[in-house]
Amino acid sequence: MKKSFLALGIVVALSQWSLGEVQQMQTKELPLEEMQKQNREIVKLASEEISKTLPQKVDNYTTLMTVEGKDTTLIYTFEINTGAKSDDAVRKEDRGRMQKAVTIGICQSSKRFLDSDINISYLYISANSKAELFRFDVTQADCPKGGRQ
């Protein structure tokens, strides 16, 4: 019986010690330079992996064409088939609505990237003219606290 209590005491002591070590490691922050280097590598790997499945149709009007990693930003390029609507009309009529929807979507779908100081850019180009229609750059600061918009 004494051996059982001794063994149990040793196990408890060791688990508390190792748990303390793990918690200490988790709360240590990487130096800024190391974190940025790590984020650049994550952006590179993520863009390479996502690119393997492209182009990808998003809806009847939108196709994700490329994903590129630049520094600590993932840049998604979409083509929009605007039909007969002019590029100027699309820019004027759709920018505000799209910016809000895109920002909410990125804040929800890319939360882990944003929380890790990896930024997301959505670039929309016209399928007809290849001209840039919109660009939305989203950082963690653009997202609401607590996850609601």
17 plus 79 within the same structural domain: no
Residue 98: which CATH number? 3.30.300.250
Q: Which residues contact 45 (CB under 8 A, 6 or more apart)?
A: none
Query: How many domains in the chain?
Result: 2
Q: Are residues 74 and 128 in the same domain?
A: yes
Same domain, 103 and 116: yes
114 & 100 share domain: yes
Does residue 110 share a domain with residue 52? yes
Residues 92 and 117 in one domain: yes
Q: Which structural domain range is residue 102 located in?
A: 31-147
Question: 91 and 129 share a domain?
Answer: yes
Whether residue 143 sits in one domain with residue 104: yes
Identify whether residues 49 and 94 lie together within a single domain: yes
pLDDT in tens, 10-32: 434 444 444 444 444 444 566 77
Same domain, yes or no, for 64 and 136? yes
Q: For residues 113 and 120, give the distance between their C-alpha atoms in angstroms, rounded to a whole number.
A: 8
On whether both 65 and 1 belong to a single domain, the answer is no
Note the pLDDT tens digit of each residue in 70-124: 999 999 999 999 888 999 999 999 999 999 999 999 999 999 999 889 999 999 9
